[in-house]
């Protein structure tokens, strides 16, 4: 049971273990099929515990998705496969910078960059500590492993909700190549390809690239452009050196450039006064969040570049003393990420405020680990497998934020919205006086105040240096042929040093007059240098696993993790800059098994997670404060199956997630803006946002011969349950559950050297919101982010 297996991925499909299983339509071992004359589910091998293992032998909740499945469904990123994975949610289908991922209801709001992501991201064994990396290098994928729950023992800090562990393709023993072109309506074209193999006995290479051009679906009626237009091109080079029979060295370089119109929000729930004011700038202004129509006056944009260089050395040392085989892995990495963005902060046709953010991130890391096996431990048991190592991490993050008053900001000050924002009371009204003045002289007011205001902006500067180290160990000990125990532990140390400042700048500052933007945002000048915090953490893990027979087992696992504390990167006043680390402990029990001669795989698990000092963002009427909630708890179930039915052409796969995530104690939570700015409420016992009560998928796939070719047809039923999408649980952010249908049909060679696929997602064109947030300048109104509408695509792929 502890034997390391050769990785044999399904020819086409999605596979998983513990609480999830394969969704592959043809997850059949060709070798076994030929020798036994029957179909069999492929074995899936993963690296979820830093060593290659059969997925069915890993006592944690994970889902493994093959790159072939991603290409089959037309996925260009991780957000496109999330609907197939129970209790995993992405807050946006298209945002290239502010990726928010929630697993089992927990994640981190990216609107304040002080937060590290609660869901860790690892690609080719390199841990990336910024959520913007989720959109980088997602091409030429071999597999994606989604690990649920705290993964602190082996993957370290900031994996408190889980980990996305991505592996890309490398040089193969024989030279091979593949290419895919994908055309989608609404207009999107993507190209992806890779070529490589062993050039000599000691040297191999693989080159891969991706190019995406997307027109988008969100039409800006004011600027007559698509606000979610998106372009990305990326390249990856892998060089493999085999200096000796038992040593391999892989050098990898990845670069990516993204350019997008920004950002994809729509106005929602405008009151009469706000509507009248905005009609001065766009007579057709409306607040329907379901029509893919926006009305910004600013040409928002986002430019993002990243460059990563890594070196992985793998040394098969062999037998050493009582160890049967000792292996050493050293991973060194250096990466840089730059983001330059400008957005229309008021998301309206009035020129009220522009938000500009420029950030630079640098990271260096090193991991050294040893793994091996032994016949027993102290003469006890029938086998031992272990991994032990050390990790070193250093990063530097700098960000400059400017919020600049627009030419119409003076006119805005003569509105009830401005009165409410300054007073902090959303019920305050001028009785129509301000509205009358505004409508009577809107153009003149804008001209006069625009000239008087001049260059007026609030600037926030933030610099953060992180230095972290860790040692870790885990052992899988077979006490008997049936009973296995897996203890593990990680000790981490981290130090953060930050500089944070904020100041208003305007032409009247020398006269002692407060700057208008600073006044409107209730901001104050501050300058805090040398902020420092040191943290240590111990993250243990303990699993018990019992094999009922060779094809099924049950497990019980306890694990802990933490996400480090930090300092507010976007404070308006400089108060309460620091926030504490959050911790989580999970206990889960599960069953996984294969039945009917390995044609049915059924896995299920239940869990409970307790979070303490939960890190949250609280809307203060203008922006978001960083704070810690008291505690939260999540309980749920995850189950899925894949069945190679007795009717040989038909495979059925499905999954189910049930989620009950609540604040255990949160007495001073922010209340909706309609209750008054900066007002509080008690959310103890209430549901957490981004925690759908149910999620489910059901996929039948039919494979038939047609004129000597293979025809495959699949239909996906995808469901996501009721949920809130804002942390204050504002009723306006409540989304009803919804269903979506996707389908695809392909025809090609049986050996899959080529295939032509026609397909689509959200074929019934369901109008669904992904997120609803408060607006900055219009209290009681909202910004909504709409999920993608109907998409149809055609793709052609070749492999040789």
Band of the pLDDT at 544, cuts 50, 70, 90?
Answer: very high
DSSP state of 116: P
Band of the pLDDT at 621, cuts 50, 70, 90?
Answer: low
Residues 144, 81: Cα–Cα separation, whole Å = 10
For residue 241, which phi and psi values (nearest 5 degrees)?
-115, 135
Longest dimension (CA), the chain: 91
For residue 56, which phi and psi values (nearest 5 degrees)?
-70, -10
Chain length of the chain: 800
Tokens of 414: 């003569």
Residues 572, 320: Cα–Cα separation, whole Å = 59
Can you give the pLDDT at residue 316? Answer: 96
Spell out the residues 6+ positions from residue 561 whose beta carbon is closer than 8 angstroms to its own.
149, 150, 151, 152, 153, 157, 159, 160, 539, 583, 584
Which helix (H) or strand (E) segment holds residue 69: the answer is helix 67-72
Q: What is the mean pLDDT of residues 633-643?
A: 93
Tokens of 340: 């330059």
Q: What separation in angstroms does the CA of 585 have from each of 19, 539, 560, 691?
A: 18, 9, 4, 18
Residues 799, 195: Cα–Cα separation, whole Å = 9
Q: What is the mean pLDDT of residues 770-775?
A: 90
Phi-psi domain of 60 (left: phi exceeds 0; alpha: psi -120 through 50; beta: other): beta
Give the closest residue to 104 by CA, choosing from 638, 729, 727, 618. 638
Tokens of 15: 């596979």
192-227 burial code (b ≥16 CB/10 A, e <16): bbbebebeeeeebbbbbbbbbebbbbbbbebbebbb
Residues 641, 79: Cα–Cα separation, whole Å = 22
Can you give the pLDDT at residue 126? Answer: 96
Q: Going by DSSP bridges, is the β-strand pair 219-220/293-294 parallel, antiparallel, or unpaired?
A: parallel
For residue 453, which phi and psi values (nearest 5 degrees)?
-70, -45
Give the closest residue to 687 by CA, choosing from 640, 636, 738. 636
- CA atoms within 13 Å, Cβ hemisphere of 270: 19
DSSP 706-719: ETTEEEEEEEEEEE
Can you give the pLDDT at residue 23? Answer: 41
Which residues make beta-bridge pairs with 488? 474, 541
Can you give the pLDDT at residue 74? Answer: 83
For residue 176, which phi and psi values (nearest 5 degrees)?
-150, 160
**Minimum mean pLDDT among 20-29, 539-548, 588-597: which range?**
20-29
Band of the pLDDT at 95, cuts 50, 70, 90?
Answer: confident
Q: What separation in angstroms does the CA of 468 have from each of 259, 279, 308?
A: 32, 53, 20
Which residues of 262-382 form beta strands (DSSP E)? Answer: 266-268, 293-294, 301-320, 323-344, 353-374
Can you give the pLDDT at residue 443? Answer: 55
What HEC string does 612-678 produce?
Answer: ECCEEEEECCCCEEEEECCEEEEEEEEEEEEEECCCCCEEEEEEEEEEEEEEEECCCEECCHHHCCC
pLDDT at 287 over 70: yes
Q: What separation in angstroms does the CA of 154 have from each of 101, 141, 162, 278?
A: 20, 22, 11, 53
Residues 338, 342: Cα–Cα separation, whole Å = 14
pLDDT at 175 over 50: yes
Band of the pLDDT at 134, cuts 50, 70, 90?
Answer: confident
Give the closest residue to 739 by CA, choosing from 760, 758, 722, 759. 722
DSSP state of 788: P
More confident residue, 442 or 126: 126
Q: Around Cβ 31, how many Cβ atoms within 10 Å?
A: 10
Q: Going by DSSP bridges, is the β-strand pair 293-294/301-320 parallel, antiparallel, or unpaired?
A: unpaired
Which residues make beta-bridge pairs with 489? 473, 540
For residue 78, which phi and psi values (nearest 5 degrees)?
-65, -30
Band of the pLDDT at 111, cuts 50, 70, 90?
Answer: confident
Burial of residue 751 (number of CB atoms within 10 Å: 0-12, 13-18, 19+): exposed
**Minimum mean pLDDT among 161-165, 254-258, 448-452, 762-766: which range?**
448-452
Condensed to tens digits (0 to 9), the pLDDT of residues 648-661 reads 999 999 999 999 99
Q: What is the mean pLDDT of residues 634-641?
A: 93
Condensed to tens digits (0 to 9), the pLDDT of residues 237-267 reads 999 999 999 999 999 999 999 999 988 899 9
Tokens of 367: 């991991």
Q: What is the mean pLDDT of residues 34-40?
A: 60
Tokens of 579: 């926030």
Give the closest residue to 475 by CA, choosing from 608, 378, 550, 391. 378
Contacts 24+ apart (CB under 8 A), 322-327: 322/374, 322/375, 323/372, 323/373, 323/374, 324/372, 324/373, 324/374, 324/375, 325/372, 325/373, 326/370, 326/371, 326/372, 327/370, 327/371, 327/372
Phi-psi domain of 763 (left: phi exceeds 0; alpha: psi -120 through 50; beta: other): alpha
- CA atoms within 13 Å, Cβ hemisphere of 257: 1
Q: Which domains are delineated in the chain?
A: 14-799 (2.40.170.20)
Average pLDDT, the chain: 88
Can you give the pLDDT at residue 22? Answer: 39
- CA atoms within 13 Å, Cβ hemisphere of 169: 27
DSSP state of 58: -
pLDDT at 110 over 90: no
Tokens of 641: 């199956």
Spell out the residues 6+ positions from residue 662 whose beta carbon is closer than 8 angstroms to its own.
632, 633, 634, 685, 686, 687, 688
DSSP state of 36: H
Tokens of 427: 């019920």
Is the CB of residue 489 less than 8 Å from the CB of residue 473? yes
pLDDT at 412 over 70: yes
Can you give the pLDDT at residue 352? Answer: 93
Which helix (H) or strand (E) segment holds residue 154: the answer is helix 152-155
Tokens of 460: 């926030």
Can you give the pLDDT at residue 436? Answer: 55
Q: Around Cβ 575, how many Cβ atoms within 10 Å?
A: 10
Can you give the pLDDT at residue 418? Answer: 86
**Minimum mean pLDDT among 106-120, 320-334, 558-572: which range?**
106-120
User: Tokens 């609480």 correspond to what residue?
Assistant: 19
Tokens of 369: 């680990």
Is the CB of residue 757 less than 8 Å from the CB of residue 321? no
Give the closest residue to 213 by CA, choosing from 193, 190, 192, 184. 190
Collapsed DSSP state (helix, strand, coil) of residue 71: helix
User: Tokens 């040392």 correspond to what residue?
Assistant: 317
* Entry pTM: 0.90
Burial of residue 513 (number of CB atoms within 10 Å: 0-12, 13-18, 19+): exposed
Residues 601, 55: Cα–Cα separation, whole Å = 12
Q: What separation in angstroms does the CA of 385 have from each of 474, 510, 549, 733?
A: 9, 70, 21, 48
């Amino acid at each position: 049971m502890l034997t390391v297996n050769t990785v044999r991925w399904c020819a086409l499909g999605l596979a998983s273990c513990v609480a999830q299983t394969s969704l592959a339509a043809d997850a059949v071992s060709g070798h076994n099929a030929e020798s036994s004359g029957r179909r069999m589910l492929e074995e899936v091998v993963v690296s979820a515990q830093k060593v290659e293992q059969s997925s069915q032998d890993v006592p944690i909740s994970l889902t493994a998705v093959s790159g072939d499945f991603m290409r089959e469904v037309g996925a260009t990123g991780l957000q496109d496969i999330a609907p197939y994975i129970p209790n995993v949610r992405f807050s946006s289908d298209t945002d290239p910078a502010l990726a928010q991922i929630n697993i089992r209801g927990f994640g981190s709001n990216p609107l304040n960059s002080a937060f590290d992501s609660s869901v860790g991201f690892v690609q080719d064994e390199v841990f990336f500590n910024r959520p913007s990396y989720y959109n980088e290098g997602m091409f030429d994928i071999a597999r994606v492993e989604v690990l649920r729950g705290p993964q602190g023992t082996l993957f370290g800090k900031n994996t408190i909700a889980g980990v996305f562990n991505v592996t890309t393709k490398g040089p193969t023993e024989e030279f091979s190549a593949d290419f895919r072109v994908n055309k989608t309506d609404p207009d999107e074209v993507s190209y992806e390809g890779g070529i490589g193999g062993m050039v000599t006995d000691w040297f191999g290479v693989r080159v891969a690239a991706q190019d995406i051009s997307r027109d988008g679906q969100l039409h800006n009626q004011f600027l007559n452009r698509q606000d979610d237009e998106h372009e990305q091109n990326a390249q990856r080079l892998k060089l493999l050196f085999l200096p000796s029979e038992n040593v391999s060295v892989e050098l990898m370089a990845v670069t990516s450039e993204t350019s997008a119109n920004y950002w994809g929000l729509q106005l929602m729930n405008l009151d009469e006064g706000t509507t009248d004011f905005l009609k001065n700038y766009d007579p057709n202004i409306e607040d329907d969040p379901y029509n893919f129509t926006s009305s910004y006056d600013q040409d928002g944009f986002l430019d993002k570049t990243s460059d990563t260089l890594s070196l992985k050395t793998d040394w098969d040392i062999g037998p050493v003393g009582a160890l049967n085989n000792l292996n050493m892995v050293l991973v060194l990495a250096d990466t840089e990420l730059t983001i330059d963005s400008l957005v229309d902060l008021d998301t309206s046709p009035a020129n009220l405020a522009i938000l500009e953010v420029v950030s630079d991130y640098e990271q260096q890391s090193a991991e050294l680990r040893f793994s091996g096996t032994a016949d027993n431990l102290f003469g006890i048991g029938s086998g031992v497998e272990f991994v032990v190592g050390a990790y070193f991490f250093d990063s530097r993050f700098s960000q400059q934020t400017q919020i600049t008053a627009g030419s119409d900001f003076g006119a805005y000050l003569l509105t009830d919205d401005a009165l409410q924002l300054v007073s902090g009371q959303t019920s305050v009204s001028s009785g129509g006086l301000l509205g009358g003045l505004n409508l009577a002289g809107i153009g003149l007011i804008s001209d006069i105040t625009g000239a008087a205001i001049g260059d007026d902006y609030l600037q926030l500067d933030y610099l953060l240096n992180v230095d972290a180290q860790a040692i870790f160990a885990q052992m899988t000990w077979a006490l008997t042929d049936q009973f296995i125990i897996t203890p593990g532990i990680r000790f981490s140390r981290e130090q953060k040093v930050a500089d944070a400042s904020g100041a208003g700048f305007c032409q009247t500052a020398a006269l002692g007059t407060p700057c208008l933007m600073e006044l409107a945002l209730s901001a104050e000048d501050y300058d805090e240098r040398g902020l420092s915090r040191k943290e240590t953490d111990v993250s243990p893990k303990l699993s018990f696993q019992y094999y009922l027979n060779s094809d099924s087992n049950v497990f019980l696992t306890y694990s802990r993790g933490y996400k480090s504390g930090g300092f507010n990167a976007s404070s308006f006043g400089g108060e309460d800059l620091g926030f504490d680390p959050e911790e989580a402990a999970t206990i889960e029990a599960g069953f996984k098994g294969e039945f009917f001669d390995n044609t049915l795989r059924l896995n299920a698990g239940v869990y409970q997670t307790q979070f303490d000092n939960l890190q949250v963002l609280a809307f203060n009427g203008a922006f978001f404060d960083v704070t810690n909630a008291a505690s939260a708890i999540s309980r749920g179930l995850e189950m899925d199956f894949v069945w190679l039915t007795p009717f040989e052409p038909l495979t059925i796969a499905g999954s189910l997630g049930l989620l009950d995530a609540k604040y255990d104690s949160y007495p001073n939570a922010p209340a909706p803006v309609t209750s008054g700015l900066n007002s509080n409420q008690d959310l103890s016992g209430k549901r957490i946002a981004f925690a759908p009560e149910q999620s489910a998928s059901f996929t039948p796939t039919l494979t038939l011969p047609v004129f000597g070719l293979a025809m495959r047809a699949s239909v996906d039923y995808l469901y996501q349950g009721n949920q809130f999408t804002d942390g204050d649980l504002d009723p306006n952010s409540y989304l009803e559950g919804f269903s979506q249908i996707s389908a695809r049909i392909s025809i090609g060679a049986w050996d899959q050297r080529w295939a032509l696929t026609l397909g689509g997602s959200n074929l019934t064109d369901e109008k669904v919101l992904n997120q609803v947030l408060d607006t900055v300048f219009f209290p009681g109104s909202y910004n909504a982010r709409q999920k993608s509408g109907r998409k149809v695509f055609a793709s052609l792929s070749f492999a040789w």
